[in-house]
Amino acid sequence: MDRMASDQERHRAREIAKAALDGQLSILEAVRKLVSLAHTDAIHDEADRRLIIGIESETDHLPVGEVRKLWTLEALREKDVEIASAEAFWKPKFLGVCKRIAEPDIGTWPTRSQGPQ
């Protein structure tokens, strides 16, 4: 951990995690938003911080979010296959991280696959 997080950064981490759990953000979009916070204690668990940083490192070449506007459709079609594969591979572990980040709301926060409780 590089530094202590502010209350605002802790809140932001929880909001990003909740959005990923709810399916409002893709796995890679959420990772990109959390990676800077992974260098703080906004993400309590060291292994969770390492996983976020690792996923970002492994997928930083993939066009996610606003940067997609700068890519050609042909290139996006190719990269979308890689994005889908990466998201499928990392999803189980990353959603577990998100559940831990989203605490204390974890008991009432359904994941997309669980549906409402």
What is the per-residue pLDDT across 45-97, written as a single tens digit (0 to 9) for each?
999 999 999 999 999 999 999 999 999 999 999 999 999 999 999 999 999 99
The answer to whether residue 59 is domain-embedded is yes
The answer to whether residue 88 is domain-embedded is yes
Predicted TM-score (pTM) of the model is 0.84
The answer to whether residue 115 is domain-embedded is no
The answer to whether residue 113 is domain-embedded is no
Number of domains in the chain: 1
Write out the DSSP string of the chain. Answer: --BPPPHHHHHHHHHHHHHHHTTSS-HHHHHHHHTTGGGBTTS--HHHHHHHHHHHHHHTTS--GGGGGGS-HHHHHHHHHHHHHHHHHHHHHHHHHHHHHHTTGGGG---TTT---
What is the per-residue pLDDT across 10-24, written as a single tens digit (0 to 9) for each?
999 999 999 999 999
The residue range of the domain holding 74 is 7-108
